[in-house]
Amino acid sequence: MVKEARGGVEPIDITWKPFSLDQINQKVGEGYLVWDEAEENIPDRLWGLRAAVAADSQGPEFLNKLLPLLLKARHEDRENLGDFDVLTNAADQAGLNSDQFLKDLKDRSSLDAVAKSHTHAVEQLGVFGTPTFVFENGGTAFLKLIRPDTPEAAEKDFENVMSLVENARYVGEIKRPQPPWPRGI
């Protein structure tokens, strides 16, 4: 919505990195790694992350086209990201080379890339959830967002939040009580 409010201009340059909520929220126990599961037992969302890695191998412009499609499929359409039809449909819509996409998706290196990115995020940056923003100046912040009513509201919130999390490095945590938030929204 921020991009829409700015006439189609990207608000910031984003480098997307995979992070597994299935790993961070696992209940099996210490030492368990979701990416060590047999291929047939890999959680559905991990296939979505692997799809992002496969798209990125064709160029960051393809990743930037694929990610909104995957997010829409998962969060709006409630599609299963473990369904290869869902993933290949999104890849086709994003203009990816379908054969190369499937080859890269199924290659173990896509899973290794997810594991490496996740491990770096946890061990080096302290990431525990998504979305977490990491800024060039070292500022980081996890944000829990809800969809604003208008592009203008999205743009205003975006500017306020980005300024706070990038520049107010001594603010350790802001959290709205639940309930009542988001009452009245």
133-165 per-position pLDDT tens digit:
888 877 788 887 777 888 888 889 888 888 888
Integer angstrom CA distances of residue 118 from 22, 26, 33, 40: 11, 14, 11, 21
Provide the mean pLDDT of the chain: 90
Q: In the chain, where are the structural domains located?
A: 1-6+130-185, 20-125
The answer on pLDDT for 15 being more than 80 is: yes
Calpha distance 144→6 (Å, rounded): 22
The answer on pLDDT for 122 being more than 80 is: yes
Neighbouring C-beta atoms of residue 34, cutoff 10 Å: 22
- pTM assigned to the model: 0.85
Q: What is the CATH number of domain 20-125?
A: 1.10.472
CB 50 within 8 A of CB 110: yes
Calpha distance 162→21 (Å, rounded): 23
Q: 43 or 6: which carries more pLDDT confidence?
A: 43
Q: Which two tokens stand for residue 2?
A: 């921020």
Residue 180: pLDDT band (50, 70, 90) is: low
Q: Which helix (H) or strand (E) holds 24?
A: helix 21-24
